[in-house]
């Protein structure tokens, strides 16, 4: 499986590099990092909410990257985004489009008034990439709160889950021919 990591906003190269390195340890896939940075179009910004419309950005990203010939596209954007039924989302994915987006602004510790912690930030990004990638690979939300596929409605829930698929989700991926390199024996 070939996966593109596509920055949608400016990132320190070490963030993208560190996230990609960790992802290569978790999923048996070839990861490619786009050398170009896409800019989220302002037409998808809701000025009343001061957030981007995640659903529209997802469709746009797929159109922007559909000629690349890769199996999955994961966009990273340090912006705030929403879907109609929620105040915000950490990410969004489409199984049919084989595309996902992770919004990293709310994954930053300093977003919550804390000191910036690089390791926490990277771990949160990896968790959300794994989660959204899982959705593109036919996984639904998992009832195991420690599984990376559990739904996160707050940063506390993101921090509580592990950067690993539970045995059930790992088996589902395995049945689809996707090898998880570090399957979790998740703590309870």
Cβ neighbors of 33 (< 8 A, separation 6 or more) are 4, 5, 7, 16, 17, 20
Tokens matching residue 90: 């950490």
186 confidence band (pLDDT: 50, 70, 90): very low
Predicted local distance difference test score (pLDDT) of residue 75? 96
Predicted local distance difference test score (pLDDT) of residue 182? 61
185 pLDDT above the threshold of 70: no
Domains of the chain: 2-138 (3.40.390.10)
User: Active-site positions?
Assistant: 132
Separation between Cα atoms, residue 73 and residue 61, nearest integer Å? 8
Separation between Cα atoms, residue 143 and residue 104, nearest integer Å? 24
Instruction: Please report the DSSP string for 74-95 in residue order.
Output: EEEE-S-EE-TTSS-BSEEEET
Read off the pLDDT of residues 72-130 as tens digits, 9 standing for 90 and up: 999 999 999 999 999 999 999 999 999 999 999 999 999 999 999 999 999 999 999 99
Separation between Cα atoms, residue 54 and residue 59, nearest integer Å? 9
Cβ neighbors of 182 (< 8 A, separation 6 or more) are 25, 26, 164
183 confidence band (pLDDT: 50, 70, 90): low
Predicted local distance difference test score (pLDDT) of residue 184? 53
187 pLDDT above the threshold of 50: no
Read off the pLDDT of residues 39-85 as tens digits, 9 standing for 90 and up: 999 999 999 999 999 999 999 999 999 878 899 999 999 999 999 99
| pTM over 0.75, yes/no | yes
188 pLDDT above the threshold of 70: no
Read off the pLDDT of residues 132-155 as tens digits, 9 standing for 90 and up: 999 999 999 999 999 999 999 999
């Amino acid at each position: 499986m070939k996966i593109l990591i596509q920055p949608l906003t400016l990132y320190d190269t070490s963030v993208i590099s560190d996230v990609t390195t960790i992802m290569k340890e978790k999923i048996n896939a070839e990861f490619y990092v786009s050398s170009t940075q896409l800019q989220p179009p302002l037409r998808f910004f809701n000025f009343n909410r001061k957030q981007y419309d995640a659903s529209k950005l997802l469709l746009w990203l797929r159109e922007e990257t559909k000629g690349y010939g890769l199996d999955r596209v994961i966009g990273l954007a340090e912006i705030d985004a929403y879907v109609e039924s929620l105040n915000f989302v950490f990410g969004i994915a489409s199984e049919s489009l084989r595309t996902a987006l992770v919004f990293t602004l709310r994954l930053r510790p300093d977003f919550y008034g804390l000191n910036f912690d690089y390791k926490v930030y990277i771990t949160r990004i990896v968790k959300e990439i794994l989660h959204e990638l899982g959705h593109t690979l036919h996984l639904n939300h998992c009832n195991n709160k420690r599984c990376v596929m559990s739904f996160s409605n707050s940063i506390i829930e993101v921090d509580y889950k592990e950067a690993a698929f539970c045995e059930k989700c790992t088996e589902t991926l395995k049945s689809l021919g996707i090898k998880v390199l570090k399957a979790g024996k998740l703590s309870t």
